[in-house]
Structure 1
Amino acid sequence: MVRNVIKNTITKPTRKYMRMLGLNTLFGTDRTKEILSINPTVMPQREEAREVRAYVYDFDATHLEEHEFNNVEACFRFRHSNRISWINVDGLRKSDVEAVCNSYSVHPLLIEDILSINQRPKMDEVEGVLFCLLNMLYFNNQDGTVEQEQISIVLGKDFVISFQEDASRDVFNPLRDKLHMANSKLRQRSADYLCYTMLDLIVDNYFVVMEKLGERIEELEEQVIRNSNNRALARISALRKEQIILKRNIAPVRDLVNGIIRSESDLLDDRTTKYFKDVYDHIMQAYDLSENYRDIMINMQDLYINNVNLKMNEVMKVMAIVTCLMAPATVIGGIFGMNFDKIPYLHNDYGFYIAMTLMLSIPVYMLWVFRKRGWF
């Protein structure tokens, strides 16, 4: 008990002063904990969503129905609508997820994946259902961080169900616009094309995030070249953490899309395979670009170290030159300051002026020699 009192007494003022000094923002230790706090052996507890809303798009080539429901039970009637149905559930609540998945015959193992936290992107095919789990990425311009939102996509016979964590944002607005166009391919094709479109929009948004991150890298590179200080080093460390988030989400999506391409599921039309290959090309480009960002950050860190060493060398060079220029005066003063009775020119009327002339002329000559040899 005494230990807890002492701990609280110490940490509260410390946190207050750290917020005032901006040290948490500078070093970003909280962000490091977020990145490394992933343990697959521990079942995380997901916080239940306060509100769950379901959006249903039931369509074919000639007809489109759009609905918004406050309860997921209202979506069950679209199971046998004889049209393509996209059910988008915003907000995850265990009871609602289980109800929707049981109604559409989704395996319990997939329900666990939907409700999981910090799951690695993957693709599974279980009992006639194709399941994709990956993250949508966003860039927070205020904090300069990459934010991720887990999305689960269930592809079945004539239906696609998507489960999102955040009800306030997603990347599917272009998809909704295409659904309102009767002559669009999305309205003419089957459910697998709808799944392709969703994956394509998620992957394309990766490039938007990477472009924003690339702008931060360019600004940081200029800062490192102009002024290599501790704040620049802290920004390098912060951007490298965001690249870890980026690569952790992009790299597994290659295997996800590749698994869909290699799948022989009856849910996938042969005509749609070439579209998934296009998504695979995009995710490979994103992966290569993330590797380029990583190389740039490593080179930038080396540049920071080289600039620091260069500044240190400049300081040492100035100090060495000053020491050399002071050496003649030190030697002359030391010789004539020795405690002997007989020293040449000690009692000379012009001895002081001669000594001062030597003390000034020798350093000037040394400066001329240093300059001629290009030492500074």
Structure 2
Amino acid sequence: MARRNKLPITDVVQVLNPFKLKKQRIMNFNPAAGTSVRKPASEILITVFDYSADSCSQIVLNKVEETFKYLESPTLTWINIDGLRKEEVHAVCQQFLIHPLIEEDILSNGQRAKMDEINDRLFCLLPMIYFNKESSSVDLEQVSIVMGKNFVISFQEDPTRDVFDPVRTKLSLKGSRIRNGGADYLCYSLLDVIVDNYFIVMDKLGERIEMMEDLVQHQPNTRTLARINYLRRQVFLFKRAISPVRELVNGFLKSESDLLEDQVTKYYKDVYDHIIQCNDLADNYRDMVLNLQEMYHTQLNLKMNEIMKVLAVVTTLMAPPTLVAGIYGMNFHFMPELEKKYGYYYTLGGMGLLLILMIFIFRKRGWF
């Protein structure tokens, strides 16, 4: 992994402080926690791209019923629905002949990435992943895509953000490949930008891992351990979310649906290669985070060893003077040197010379 410009330790502490994290939004689901019915969205945004090789129109609609006319449209249509409510999703699924099982998956929360083919409709569900800079966390948004002969419908949870801007830009360019392609190429384009965004998130996680390496070396304390554990959970969450996407893309490669043209299959192979690379990098990051925990314990042990070495040296240096002071502190009336005029100073001088001699011997042996 390439080294990057490092932030000061004070900035690292501020970025990776798990005790100041805000609560994640409801869209942040755990792929391993099962599914549940989601809360209805407060607002819905419907955007339609109706296009052909020669023209492209972008329309914002207020009601899902206004999309029904595109079922029999001679042009290709991308219907993007941001915000999910059961009534609207049910109406769209009924009109576009989408199976109730697919409808149930669209409305469910925390689904594992999957791909299905039911009643001449190709369906895939996968996480759209963002990196939250404010909390240094991984945010997941479930995206569902349904493909028919001349349409693609995408269902998103959050109307305020997505990663589809590159697709919108290509649709606005006359003569672009996506304008000359079919619904299968549009579906590929959506999957491609979602998977490409995984690399952006991984790059941010990689930066945090490098920051933590410096933090472990400078501040191996309990707060640093808490930050390592928090980063480990984010990396594991990312890894669990993207792992099934490989099977999803492989489903398109193995599908014999008439909706997929042979010349477009090679593009799905490119997405498959990207998701394999993404999984490999996620495995590397997971190992690096685990190594951070080992590094933390190693640094802690080294710090403890330094402390014990200092204490041992101090104790050893004080042992001879303590012995001499103990001998001359005995309450015997007849002892040599007790009647000496300068005996007290001779004794202190002898203790001092003994300390200097011991320090010289220890330094020569390289003990400290």
**TM-score strictly above 0.5:** yes
Paired position in structure 2 for 1:367: 359
> Equivalent residues in 2 for 1:313-332 (5 A)?
313-332=305-324
Paired position in structure 2 for 1:163: 155
Please, which of 317, 333, 353 is the counterpart of residue 325 of structure 2? 333
Give the Cα separation in 2 of the matches to 1:252 and 1:153.
16
Please, which of 163, 167, 174 is the counterpart of residue 182 of structure 1? 174
Does residue 127 (structure 1) correspond to residue 119 (structure 2)? The answer is yes
Please, which of 257, 262, 271 is the counterpart of residue 279 of structure 1? 271
The alignment of Structure 1 onto Structure 2 pairs a total of residues equal to: 354
Paired position in structure 2 for 1:310: 302
* Structure 2 residue runs without a partner (length 5+): 1-13
Does residue 70 (structure 1) correspond to residue 55 (structure 2)? The answer is no
Answer with 209-218 or 157-166: which moved more: 209-218
Paired position in structure 2 for 1:245: 237
Cα distance per residue 1:168-213 (max 9 Å; x no partner): 1111111011111120110111100000000000000011111112
> Equivalent residues in 2 for 1:1-376 (5 A)?
26-27=18-19, 44-376=36-368
How far the C-alpha of 1:344 sits from its partner, in A, is 2.2
Cα distance per residue 1:67-121 (max 9 Å; x no partner): 1111000000010012211111111000000100111111001101000111111
Matched residue type, 1:298 = L
Give the Cα separation in 1 of the matches to 2:206 and 2:183.
35
Give the Cα separation in 2 of the matches to 1:40 and 1:337.
72
CA contact (8 A) 1:35 1:245 kept: no
Answer with 120-129 or 199-208: which moved more: 120-129
Give the Cα separation in 2 of the matches to 1:61 and 1:175.
15
How far the C-alpha of 1:146 sits from its partner, in A, is 0.9
How far the C-alpha of 1:26 sits from its partner, in A, is 3.5
How far the C-alpha of 1:42 sits from its partner, in A, is 7.3
CA contact (8 A) 1:53 1:72 kept: no
How far the C-alpha of 1:142 sits from its partner, in A, is 1.0
* Structure 1 residue runs without a partner (length 5+): 1-21
Q: Secondary structure at the match of 2:216?
A: helix
CA contact (8 A) 2:45 2:61 kept: yes
User: What TM-score does the superposition give when structure 2 sets the normalisation length?
Assistant: 0.91
Higher helix share: 1
Q: Secondary structure at the match of 1:344?
A: coil
Q: Compared with structure 1, are the counterparts of its residues 26 and 194 closer, same or farther at alpha carbon in structure 2 (3 Å cutoff)?
A: closer
